[in-house]
Amino acid sequence: MTNPNTLENWRPHSLVYFHCSLAILWLAAACSWGIALLIARYFHPESAVKPAILGVGLFAAVLWLSLRRCSTPELPAFRGLLLMTAYMTIGMGNFSLLFVIPAVAFAIVAITSIALVSLFLNDAA
């Protein structure tokens, strides 16, 4: 990537989108499952379905807001996730899913944490 326009012209493969979406879906499912377990433990198990669905919506909203907060004009956060996913899948075949999905999930949690912390810090710039 020596040319400055290379990143602008880069088009990820469809499997890169698939791997990144799979990690996002697994993280959303884990969020929904955790909320459903908490609701079922302290309230009636029948009432856990609606909060679990709400948990997926809440996860999507938090992810969208944190991706907006951590983006720059030169490199949007979602493109950064796609770049990380693409670099981790090079030359490994299907075995790369063992590394890509946890790494992207960790990156999403890190982006969300950075966005949350940056809400409470004063920006000196």
Domains of the chain, residue spans: 14-120
**Token pair of 106, please?**
């960790």
Asked if pLDDT for residue 5 goes beyond 70, the answer is: no
**Token pair of 86, please?**
């693409």
Asked if pLDDT for residue 64 goes beyond 80, the answer is: yes
Asked if pLDDT for residue 2 goes beyond 60, the answer is: no
pLDDT in tens, 102-112: 888 899 999 99
Name the helix (H) or strand (E) containing 3: none
How many distinct helices (H) and strands (E) make up the chain?
Answer: 5, 0
Confidence label for 34 from pLDDT (cuts 50, 70 and 90):
confident
The pLDDT value given to residue 93: 66
What pTM value is reported for the model?
Answer: 0.77
The whole-angstrom separation of Cα 49 and Cα 28 is: 15
Asked if pLDDT for residue 10 goes beyond 80, the answer is: no
The whole-angstrom separation of Cα 67 and Cα 49 is: 27
What is the average pLDDT value for the chain, to the nearest integer? 81
